[in-house]
Structure 1
Amino acid sequence: MVKLSAAGQKALDDLVTQFQAEKKVPGFGIAVTSVDRELYTSAGGFRIHDDPTSGAVTPDSLYWICSMTKLLASVRIFETQLFADIVFVLIFLDLQLAGLILIEQGKLNFDDPVTKYLPQLKDLVVLEGLMATPTPTPRPAQGVPTILHLLAHSSGSTYFAKLPEPIYALSKGYTFEQTGGREQAQEEFFEHIKEGQSGIPLAADPGTSFSYGYSSDILGIIVERVTGQSLADFCEQYIFKPIGIKTTFRLTPELIAKLIDLSFRNQDGSISRLGDRIPLIQRYPKEVLLDLGGIGGYSTLPDYAALLRHLLRIEAGKDVPNPILKQETVKGLFKPQLTEAGAGALAAILSMWDSDVARNGVNWSTGLAVTTKDLPGKRRANSGFWGGWAGTLFVVDPTTGIAIVTGTQIVPTSDKGAIELFDKAEGIVYANLEDD
């Protein structure tokens, strides 16, 4: 067992004080856990960055975790260019757990073709020259994505069949107005992600490379089709409630009062309110008809850390009340699944976010980006990590037995301040671990 030394606690406190005093980011927080217990949690700033009367950010404040939702989608299935590259990095949060749960339950298989559940994915087109030319050439895709391809983000699905305007905005598949019922919203989703193509567009043939896109959202829709439940209800029953966390897909008036407001980083480095610059996903007070597995989650940082701690305990073979997955399945979250070409594509994307991590080797598992080598002074090889479009980041290291989550709420994505907060927190934690 490891713990954070008193010097480490003070260094993190000093980091919070510094970031708050220098206003490097709007409202923010840090949460650190070992395999056994919470080690640290703190926060700084205000819920609305320029309004002290909005209330201080606390560990109980709520974050839109965006792509960190993706891990959630994956787990449950088991049991039963520069601008484009930057945008790529920002949307991952993980829905993978839901998929893994269904695999463990025997309701899905890794090698199931997605067309078994979604005929909308029968006609796929690969956009040759995507990101290299303004007019990519569509051709029929070779092969059909499988459940494993969705989990490993090697399905070919892409956010960038058409670049959003402005470039930092979310893609159309996330911002369309949901109408009718759940099934109608699903159909509208598939129409929007076509982006005018004859079929759903891909960046590469299924299974051949890494491509950041709607894989987790498609996986979430499959979860709904297989179970007959909304993704929100499924995750509540099989992930959130068993762990004892309040992570959610659905905002309420009470949660809105805890939600940190989104801010915007101006070109001169200053911070202002996001306002109505860009459309966001459908949320309260509008009815959410389609729970977006790639971006639709909301969580406090300690709750997300509790999810990671739950996985660490299962992986380590410790006694876990209400385990959401089997040990073998959780160990798979830290094992690479991409081809060499896929790993190279992921590294190219990550180089825009964290060149040190990219240079040390990366891959993708059934739910997480994973490091393939130790990062000096920080995470060990086979650690899982990712982040969210609006400024949340995490790492979970089964070798050391710790996880770190940091967050703010700011766009455009890959904000330097948000990345600096995580980088410094990770360095402090690893420099101040000691045996318990």
Structure 2
Amino acid sequence: MVKLSATGKKALDDLVTQFQAEKKLPGFGIAVTSVDRELYASAGGFRIHDDPTSGAVTPDSLFWICSMTKLITALAGLVLIEQGKLNFDDPVTKYLPQLKDLVVLEGLFTTPTPTPRPAQGVPTILHLLAHSSGSTYFAKLPEPIYALQKGYTFEQTGGREQAQEEFLECIKEGYSGVPLAADPGTSFSYGFSSDILGIIIEKVTGQSLADVCEQYIFKPIGIKATFRLTPELIAKLVELNFRNEDGSISRFEDRVPLIQRYPKEVLLALGGIGGYSTLPDYAALLRHLLRIEAGKDVPHPILKQETVKTLFKPQLTEAGAAALAAIVSTWITAGSVNWSTGLALTTNDVPGKRKANSGFWGGWAGTLYVIDPTTGVAIVAGSQIVPTFDKGAVELFDKVEAIVYANLEDD
């Protein structure tokens, strides 16, 4: 067991003070946990960046966690695998016959006009979990480049099943079938794998992904993460901001369309981007996984220990690991990397920071996390700012991680 020393807590307090004083970020938060308990939680800035009357950001403030939702969707998929309702090797066409005519875009990243060809093979549930299905965000680049794809921003109407169909049509991007960056199982490709998994979860259970996650993840752990905003939650939500080219920060001001949210009804809970959480609640989710992985007593465990251990075992091919590394290297120093059944993995020790086979990822709007089962700690930190990989958000997380690991001591 480890704890954060008094020196470490003061260093984090000083970091919060520094980031506020230097206005390095708009509203931001930090949460640190051990396998046993919360070690630290703090926040800085205002809910609306340049408006002190909007209220201070606190550990109870709500963040749009964007792609940190992908882990939650993966956990829901693993729950159904344990229940025998899904299998790792199930082809996605078993549940979504609309995905039978997939096309691979040859030259996607090397030519302005990639050539579509029929995909070889069919993605499986494991491929969706490991992001090796081939699904890509980049079949058609959004305008501006930092914008969300139309699969995330189309207007949801008519009901959940209609929204599912509209989503699957949107992600075709005008091709005859859903486009892939590579043949299923051959590489890593960042795209709509988690959203497709979320739709399959809805098909199998007859429930919304939001309700499945509430029943099997949020409620058993005792956290208030959600896919659905309400007036009460909107009042706690940290507003989105924008980093200008000169480094200054502005309000987001509807620069690009976002996912559907209150007051409109969310008919399709997007498994790749649609979650909201406080940072301490997300840390509590990671703590729950750490406890299960370590074989500790856990009230209402959401998964078996053997299943949780798959979250820390690489699943990608060598080519897939290289493709993931090319993305990760643009925003974080993580060494060699891979992907498991739900987490990006750092597969080597990072000096002064996480140990090998730690899980990590981040969200489009400026939040990041790491979960380290070897050391028995997890860290969540970030802000609400785009474009993604914001320098201030990455700097905050890097400094928090370094402080935490330099100041752990035996409990």
TM-score by length of 2: 1.00
| Match 1:220 to one of 167, 176, 198 | 198
SS of 1:233's partner is: helix
Unpaired segments of 5 or more residues in structure 1? 74-95
Letter in 2 for 1:39: L
2:386 maps to 411
CA distance in 1, matches of 2:43, 2:336: 32
Q: Give the AA of the match of 2:21.
A: A
Number of the residue aligned with 2:212: 234
Whole-angstrom CA distance in 1 between matches of 2:110 and 2:238: 37
- Paired residue for 2:355? 380
How many Å apart are 1:339 and its aligned residue? 0.2
Taking the aligned partners of 2:196 and 2:254, their CA distance within structure 1 comes to: 28
| 2: CA distance, partners of 1:14 / 1:141 | 53
Instruction: Report the Cα distance in structure 2 between the residues aligned to 1:379 and 1:371, rounded to whole angstroms.
Output: 8
Q: What residue is the counterpart of 1:195 in the other structure?
A: 173
Pair 1:304-2:282 in alignment: yes
Cα distance in structure 2, aligned partners of 1:408 and 1:348: 24
Corresponding letter in the other structure for 1:275? E
Contact in 2 for aligned 1:61/1:300 (Cα 8 Å) = yes
Structure 1 distance, partners of 2:254, 2:198, is 28
Partner of residue 87, structure 1:
none
Amino acid in structure 2 at the alignment position of 1:412: P
Counterpart in the other structure of 1:91: none
Match in the other structure for 2:72? 72
Residue 384 of structure 1 and its aligned partner are, at CA, apart by 0.3
Amino acid at match of 1:27: G
- Equivalences for residues 70-149 of structure 1 within 5 A: 70-73=70-73, 96-149=74-127
| Number of the residue aligned with 2:252 | 274
Corresponding residue of 2:343:
368
TM-superposed deviation, 1:255: 0.0
Write out aligned runs for 1:7-18 (5 A): 7-18=7-18
Q: CA deviation at 1:338?
A: 0.1
Q: Distance in 1 between the 2:62 and 2:253 partners?
A: 18
Structure 2 counterpart of 1:172:
150
1:281 counterpart letter in structure 2:
I
Partner of 2:63: 63
Cα distance in 1 between the residues matched to 2:371 and 2:178: 33
Cα offset, 1:176, TM superposition: 0.4
1:249 partnered with 2:224: no
What is the rounded CA distance, in whole Å, between the counterparts of 1:199 and 1:221 in structure 2? 17
**1:90 aligned partner:** none
The alignment partner of 2:312 has SS state of coil
Q: How many residues align?
A: 411
Match of 1:331 among 303, 306, 309: 309
8 Å CA contact retained: 1:263, 1:274: yes
1:31 Cα deviation from its structure 2 partner: 0.2
Alpha-carbon distance between aligned partners in 1 of 2:109 and 2:63, rounded to the nearest angstrom:
31
Looking at structure 1, the residues matched to 389 and 105 of structure 2 have their Cα atoms a distance apart, in angstroms, of: 26
- Which residue in the other structure is 2:399 paired with? 424
1:400 aligns with 2:375: yes
* Deviation (angstroms), 1:293: 0.1
Instruction: After superposition, give the CA deviation of every residue in 1:160-197 in whole Å (9 maximum; x if it has no partner).
Output: 10000000000110000001010000000011000000
Instruction: Measure the CA separation in 2 of the matches of 1:47 and 1:258.
Output: 8
CA shift digits 1:333-389 (9 cap, x unpaired): 0000000000000001111112x31xx210000000001110000000010000000
TM-superposed CA distance for 1:137, in Å, is 0.3
Is the 1:33–1:403 contact (alpha carbons within 8 Å) kept by the matching residues of 2?
Answer: yes
Residues 371, 381 of structure 1: 8 Å contact kept: yes
Q: Which amino acid aligns with 1:28?
A: F
Deviations 1:240-271 (A, max 9, x none): 00000000000000000000000000000000
Q: Aligned AA for 1:325? A: L
Q: Tell me what 1:46 maps to.
A: 46
Percent identity, aligned pairs only? Answer: 87
1:43-78 Cα distance to aligned partner (Å, 9 max, x none): 0000000000000000000000000000011xxxxx
Which residue number corresponds to residue 284 of structure 1? 262
Question: Is residue 271 of structure 2 the alignment partner of residue 293 of structure 1?
Answer: yes
Map of 2:22 onto structure 1? 22
**Aligned partner letter, 1:327:** Q
Quick one: which amino acid aligns to residue 37 of structure 1?
A: R
Q: Tell me the secondary structure at the aligned position of residue 333 of structure 1.
A: helix
Question: Are residues 1:206 and 2:184 paired?
Answer: yes
> What is the CA-CA distance between 1:132 and the residue it aligns to?
1.2
Q: Which amino acid is 1:431 matched to?
A: A
Residues 204-259 of structure 1: per-residue CA shift (max 9 Å, x gap): 00000000000000000000000000000000000000000000000000000000
1:28 Cα deviation after fit? 0.2
Q: TM-score, normalised by structure 1?
A: 0.94
